[in-house]
Each structure stands twice: as structure tokens, then as C-alpha cells.
Chain A
Amino acid sequence: MKRQFFFYLMLICSAAMLGSCSKNIIERTDNLPALTPSDIDINAGTWKTILLKRPDTFAVNAPALTNSPAYLAELNEIKGLQQNINSAQKSIIKYWSAGSVLRWNEIMRELVEKYNLPPYQNPDGTYPAPNANNPFAYPQFPFSNPPYAARAFAYISAAQYDALVAAWYYKKMYNRSAPYTVDSSIKALVPKTVLPAYPSEDAVVAGVTVEMMKLLFPTEIAFIQQKLEEEEEYRLISGANVRSDIVAGEALGRQVAAVFVARAKSDHAGAAGGSPQLWSSLASNISAQGQTPWISLEFPKRPPMLPLFGNVKPFLFDSLTVIALRPGPPPSTSSDDFHQENAAACAQIKNPTREQNRIVQFWADGVGTFTPSGHWNAIAADDFIKQNYSEVRWARNMALLNMGQMDAAIVCWNTKFYYFNPRPSQMIADIKTLTGVPNFPSYISGHSTFSESASTILGHIIPANASKYEAMSAEAAKSRFIAGIHTKLDCDAGLKVGKSIGDFAVYRAMTDGAE
């Protein structure tokens, strides 16, 4: 018997040892191959820009000739770096060669997750607000909630796109080859390309993104500056760029960013938080119409999330179109129809199945996550990786997606605060939700609006996946009903609005010169 016991004990120990090895987790984008575009999009310098008036709004000086002493010195710098490549440098090469737009998109998502935390209340029951002018004080700036995140993704993606269109314009114009092409003794540690190297597309993306992030995530400047330096080092070590390619690219990126920063500072987002007077007038206006106004379900009651975000200036259409896209009112809060919608949510939530719970958690995208927009960025990135896009096409597709996300947030928030409609769990206290109740009005569903906007443009970009995206969007919308967060009516209306916004992105895609 003892012998048997030892046998089992050994079995358990060896299982534990085996198991501890298997604790290493390989993440989805840990081992990506280097980006090898199927088409270098050599004419992307003619694609329609978003804010830049022209691709050559900012001048990029002609580069030194590849037989000049200055250029030869730059080649020598690379040769020196390639003498001793350490393991840290190898991992930088592996990481960044998967794609600049992809990696910066991942970094953006990470920052959104990190800062998506609602502030804790003050002792008197009021709530502090993050302050862009004092970003390190608690609560740190920003609180990257869904509208904030959608806007951040849009500005960064759009700025990257314009900067890369400008870069492609100069690449074609100056047509300076990559160092490994000029000098065969330089090793190409990335796949070779005939795309001209000046200015460096990686440095353009890094420069424009770092400048945008200074505005959007000001407490992370040191972190993102380190990422920029890593990326630029990777381009040198890998033989893909000489230093002048990088210097010119980074400078161009930073100049383009200034145009987007100026717009961001005047797009009304800074005033979206409103004031105590506004918060109470929203409720009293609705009460005056004989409707039950939304109230916060948090303790203590938290001011609604960015009530004036619906006034932010959109990317894909003008502010009058925001009002035109706003759907008609939900049923009166005292009507039978409205009661039945909430009663259906209540009936649904009584006995959720495990599969329903899975759907809810998959799409919850609440506190501490990358928000619905970030989720769709992740979905898009996972599929774009397989498409082998050039960097400029990556940026263009992300910009289309994210301008649609920001504009979805604008129209959705405009609608939410125009009707100030209560949540199902406000109307029926028995409704317990499978994830946290967002702190803003119910009608229309944000998840539904974001998701249908995303699925519409993504289905246009990758038609083979269109039905998959449509099913995902429908599931995202449904997740909010089965979570007890929304009525079906909220979700259906959100899907409809999201579709209209996605169509604006599709229209732009069909006319931007890239298809």
C-alpha cells in the first residue's frame, strides 16, 4: 500500500512539474512573422488625406545621394550596429517587424485599458474629474471611457494615415533605396522591399503617434518615447533605414500630428463633461416633458459620463448630420410599450445560461478594458495581420474603422443625452445585470452602435469576412440585452444608427483612391 502511495505521490509531483512548464502563455501576436506587404501601394501618396490639404503640406528635404560621403557614413553606422546584435535587440526586431501601425495600435489599446477606471468619490459624495492640466493628480488624466477611447483611437489612426500618405508621396518622389539594397554587405534583418526608404515609414508612424499620445495620454510620455526609440533602433539595426531616413520620417510625423492636435483641442471634447447645472437641467428638462429621467444607479450617484460628447466635431460628416442621424424617441416611459420592453429584459435575466454569460463577458468591455472600440480594433488587427497590408494601407483601414467608432460615439451620446432615457434596472429594480451597468442613459445602445459601425466598414474592407463581422455585431448587441443592461429596442436602434455611420466610412473608403 505504501508503495502504491509513493507511486501516486510521484505522479502528482511530476504532473506538477509538467504543469509548471505549461504555465508559459504564448499570446496572439507574440510570434508574428515580419510584415511582408503583398502590395507596396507605391501610389499611396495620391490617396485622399483627412486633415492635410495636400500630401506635401509639410516639406521634406531631398535626401543625400547614396554615393555621397554623408550617406556612406550612415551605412557605416549600420554596419557597426550589426557587428554585435544582442538578444534584447533581436527581440526588438522581432516585435517591431510585425508592423508599426499594428504595434502602436496594440500600445494604444493597452493605455486605454490602463486608464479606463472611473474615479473614486470624494468624502462629500461628489466625484473628482481628471484634469488634463494636472494629469498626474488622482484621478489621473484621462479616464479613457468608451467615448474618450473611440476619439483617441480615431485621432491617432487618422493622423497616422495622413502622415503615411505624405511619407509615401515623398518616398515615390525621392525614390531612395533601403541600405541593404544600396550596400550588399548590409544584412537585411527584415524582409526586403522595393519600397523607397526615405522617409522611414516606421519613424513617421512613431513620430506622429508620440505627438498625439502626448495630448491623449500625457502621463505616459516617458513610456511612449522609449517605444519610439526602440522602433527607430530596430530600423537601423535591421538594415532597413539609415539615420537620415528616420530623422526625416519622425519630423514629418510630428508636423502632421500638430494639425490633428490643433483640431482635437477645438473639437469640443474638452467641454464634454458638462457641469452640475447641466447635469440637473438634463433631468429637469425630461421631467418637464412628463418622462422619467435617467438617474445614476451608483452610490453615491455619479454624474453621467461625458454628457456633451454628442457635440464633438465628427470626422466623417458635419454636426448637422449628427442631428439628422439621431433616431426618433423611444416609447414614453409611462407607456405599455416601454414597460413591456423592460419586462422582457427582466424575464431574460432571471436564469442566464452559461453560454449567455460567455457572450456577456466576451463583449462586456467595461471598466479596465479597451472599451468596445478597442475590442473592434483588436478584431480588425487580428484579421489585418493575415492580409499583408502595407503600412499605409494598415493605417488607412484603421483610420476608416476608428473615424467610424468616434462618430458612432458622437451620434450615440447625442441620442443618449437628448432623450435621457432610464436603464431597465432603473425601471425594474429586480433586474440584476451580468456585468456592470454603465453610468449614462440607456437609449440607444453604445455597444450596438459601435459594433455595427465597425462591422459595416470591416465587411467592406474584407468582404470575405463580412458575414462574420455582421454576426459578431449582432452578438455584441444581443449581449447587452441578455446582460440586463439594455432593452431590445435600445439595441435595435443602436444597430441601425451604427449601420448609417458605417456607411459613411464605406463611402469614404470607396472614394479615397485606395480601392
Chain B
Amino acid sequence: MNQNIIYKIKQIGLLAFSVFIFSQMQAQTDADAIMMNKNQLCSGPAYGYSTWDHYWEGTLHRINRNIGTVTTQSVMYMAVYGITGKLNVMASAPYVWTHASAGTLHSSRGLQDIAVFVKWKPVAYSFAKNKLSVFALGGFSTPLTNYEIDYLPLTIGLGSTNLTGKAMVDFQHKRFTITASGAYVWRSNVKIDRTTYYDTRQHLTNEVEMPNAAQFQFRSGYRGRYLIAEGVVTNWTTLSGFDITRNNMPFPSNRMNMTTVGAAIKYTLKQDTHLSVMAGGNYTVTGRNVGQAGAFNIGAFYAFYVKNNGNKK
């Protein structure tokens, strides 16, 4: 069971360090179909690295020699806890730093957003060698610090408070799995440091309406006792917002869309099943108003029972 817990955390990390010009949806987690047992706590650190030199200015694919290559790195601590075997809660918070290889723009760094997710498995149905599970998830994330938002593409986050509702279906045949999920992300308005801005018109306010977003994910692969390996396709679609105008800077309320493909593996040590390591990577194959990032992440986790409730496997 440890491995599953850790697997879950790995997924947290994978999304966390994915692609965005900046991270935001990241701290959301919960992409997998694994539940922890009651009273089981799994936690550990992870590191993420993401880099791009091409980006989409609206739909125009381009480079910018005044930015060069933008690199985003983060370290994060994540924890998942089983309130019951069917109800888990998880939390994470990354420290993020960004850098541009060319031009004169200053790097930025700081503690980004805390994310808390509740995951519930109301339906689990087994037949023959198949298992079908349905999940419902609710997430909340909000900035931990008053970081600079209006500094794209080198800001560490987009600054909105997000509420996520998500449904997920998992099918397992022997060791083969398919998981599909869809989420709606409500994003609060954000406040920037200037009192007027222009998107498609002038706004005489420091408040920016952040468009809501949808996220879809499909993952499939092998789910063994010690090794889990999957291919992952993720789509993030911002439901409104505007395109970066020609040769302009990006803005938090841009319509940021992207589709990434990647892989994720996790291995639980046979010698000590409390411990596991994970690694993942992905690449943005198509996007709009985002960087075409390649990203990877690694993490190590430790799992144990906070108190013995007699159902430990």
C-alpha cells in the first residue's frame, strides 16, 4: 500500500512541475486513482525543473532573444493522509525560482501557493480481474506570500485563489490501468501593483479578472506492486482571457492553453516499503500564450501509519 500512497504523491509532483510559463495549477495534485489507508501518512520532498525557449504569443510560435531560455525550478514538500480508506486529504507548497538566460530581466523567487485537496472514492466495483473506481475531488489553493504577479514570464505564480472540482474514473485490468479525469478550476480575481492596465481595453483598476479553466487528463500504463509506470496526456484550457498582442508582454489573464505528453514512474523499495522514489517528465506539444516547456521532476517519500488501526497490510 505504501507504494500507492507514494505513487499518488508522485502525481502531485508531476503536475506540480509541469509546463506552464509559471506554475499555478501545479500545486494541485491528485491526478491518480490511488487511495491511502486509514491513518496512513506519506510525505516527502520533490524537485522540479522546467525550461523553454519557444513560446506562443497568442497562436504565433516564436522565440525571444531578449529572454532567451526561461527556467523555472521548485522544491516542494507534499503530504497525503488517509482519514479513511475512501477519504484522503493532501497538501503541498512549493518554493519557486525563475531565471531568464538572456536580456536584463531580474530573476524572481519565493514561496508560492499552498494547495489542499480532498479526495473521495464513493464507488469501487470489482468484477473478474477488473476493478472500476470513481472519485470526486475538491481542491483549494491560495498564495502563501504576496509575490509579484504582474511580472510575466518570470513571476513565480499567478496569484489567484483557486477552487477545483474534479471527477475521475479509474479502470484496472490485472496490472494494466486507464485513468481519466476532468476538472473545473474557478480562479479568483487578482490585484496587481499598477492602477490601470490594458488587455483588450483599458481597465481603471488594479483588479484583474482571472478566467476560469478546465483540465483534462488521461493516463495509462502498468501498476505493479513495486513499480508503476504510465504515459500521461494533460490538457489545460483557460475558458476565456485574451491573447498576448504582437511583441507585447504576457499578462496573468491571458488565455493560457496547453497540452502536454509525458511519462511518470515510481518505484517502491523492496528492502523497505516505507520508502519510494519517483520521477517524471513531460513536454508541451501545443499551447497558446505559454512557454513550450520541457519539464522533469524527482521526489522521495516516506510512508507510515500515524496510529495502528489494525487494518495495515
Contacts and interface: CB of A to CB of B under 8 A. Distances in A.
B298 interface: no
A1 B148 contact: no
Given A25-B205, A484-B106, A298 B66 contact: yes
Contacts of A432: 104-107
B110 to A, nearest CB: 9
Contacts of A484: 104, 106
Interface in B243-274: 245-249
A57 interface: no
Contacts of B163: 12, 15-16, 19
Nearest to B57: A120
A441 to B, nearest CB: 15
A106 interface: yes
Given A12-B140, A20-B186, A110-B201, A5 B66 contact: no
A330 interface: no
Contacts of B194: 361-362, 364, 369
B248 A367 contact: yes
Contacts of B195: 28, 362, 378
Interface stretch (A75-83, A349-357, A491-499): A349-357
A297 interface: yes
A433 interface: yes
B202 A106 contact: yes
A386 to B, nearest CB: 15
Contacts of B307: none
A25 B209 contact: yes
A362 B150 CA distance: 10
Given A28-B204, A28-B205, A357-B148, A117 B196 contact: no
Interface string A17-38: 0011011011111100000000
B192 interface: yes
A178 B207 CA distance: 40
A138 interface: yes
Contacts of B193: 357-358, 361-362
Interface in B127-145: 136, 138, 140, 145
Interface in A52-103: none
B102 A299 contact: yes
A222 to B, nearest CB: 16
A114 interface: yes
Interface string B190-212: 00111111100111110101000
A388 to B, nearest CB: 20
Contacts of A118: 247
Given A19-B186, A357-B148, A357-B193, A117 B246 contact: yes
A304 interface: no
Interface of A: prevailing SS: loop
A96 to B, nearest CB: 16
Contacts of B83: 1
A250 B269 CA distance: 83
Contacts of B286: none
B120 A5 contact: yes
B204 A120 contact: no
A378 B196 contact: yes
Contact of B165 (A12, A25, A106, A370): A12
Nearest to A298: B66
Contacts of A368: 198, 245, 248-249
A298 B145 CA distance: 32
A5 B102 contact: no
B156 to A, nearest CB: 12
Contacts of B84: 1
A407 interface: no
Contacts of B246: 117, 120, 138
Nearest to B196: A378
6 contacts: A19-B188, A29-B204, A30-B204, A110-B201, A354-B148, A433-B104
Interface of B: 65-66, 83-84, 87, 102-107, 118, 120, 136, 138, 140, 145-148, 150-151, 163, 165, 186, 188-189, 192-198, 201-205, 207, 209, 245-249
Ordered nearest first, which 7 A-B pairs have the shortest CB separation? A299-B65, A110-B202, A361-B193, A113-B198, A432-B106, A27-B204, A120-B247
